[in-house]
């Protein structure tokens, strides 16, 4: 029972740190750059797309090699 109480206190402390303004979990020093966000979104989209070439061509990038590894550990897909 003491272990469960201690775990609850630690968990609450962890969430309190995450919500505080001076939290190390939140980076308040970086300004939002919409151009960088759009640039990164295109490459993230390419990583998950069935055909990544259109996403890469917008920024002049090309696909050199693509490797797909099945990762359905539960075998339900």
What confidence tens digit (pLDDT) does each residue in 8-37 have? Answer: 444 444 454 455 555 555 666 677 888 888
CA atoms within 13 A on the CB side of 23: 11
Quick one: which of 53, 48, 43 has its CA closest to 68? 48
Residue 8: per-residue pLDDT: 46
Domain boundaries, the chain: 1-30, 32-77
Name the pLDDT band for 4 (thresholds 50, 70, 90). very low
pLDDT score for 11? 43
Give mean pLDDT, residues 32-59. 87
- Rounded to whole angstroms, the Cα distance separating 77 from 73 reads 9
C-alpha atoms less than 13 angstroms from C-alpha of 9 in its C-beta half-sphere: 6
pTM: 0.47
Q: Which two tokens stand for residue 25?
A: 């979990």
């Amino acid at each position: 029972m003491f272990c469960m109480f201690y775990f609850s206190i630690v968990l609450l402390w962890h969430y309190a740190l995450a919500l505080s303004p001076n939290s190390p979990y939140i980076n308040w020093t970086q300004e939002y750059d919409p151009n960088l966000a759009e640039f990164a979104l295109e490459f993230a989209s390419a990583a998950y797309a069935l055909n990544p070439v259109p996403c890469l061509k917008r920024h002049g990038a090309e696909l050199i090699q693509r490797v797909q590894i099945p990762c359905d550990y539960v075998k339900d897909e």
